[in-house]
Amino acid sequence: MGGCSVLVLLSLLTAMGLVLFSVFLGAAGLFLVATVVAIVFAVRTSKRRERGKKLGALIAIPIVLYAVSVPVLIYFAVKWIPLVMAG
């Protein structure tokens, strides 16, 4: 009976680790997308001004992506990276 419960516990811990890893990868992906979008907006701003267009509400896209991803990345940097580095 004890061997079965250990296997269940290990599978649950593995599943939790995979969920946390996927959350980290998702946040890192959102951060990367926000950075690319911000760079594209910065490069195309002068062309948009020539056409008489403004960024307006489009500027909210990278701000929202950063607002979602940065706290998650900070949490992982504070909580998990020191644990991994410690061994």
30-63 per-position pLDDT tens digit: 999 999 999 998 888 888 777 877 777 888 999 9
Q: Phi, psi at residue 19, to the nearest 5°?
A: -65, -45
pTM of structure: 0.78
Rounded Cα distance, 13 and 24, in Å? 16
Collapsing DSSP to helix, strand or coil, 52 comes out as: coil
Handedness of CA 39, 44, 46, 52 (dihedral sign): negative
Per the structure block, which two tokens stand in for 36? 């690319």
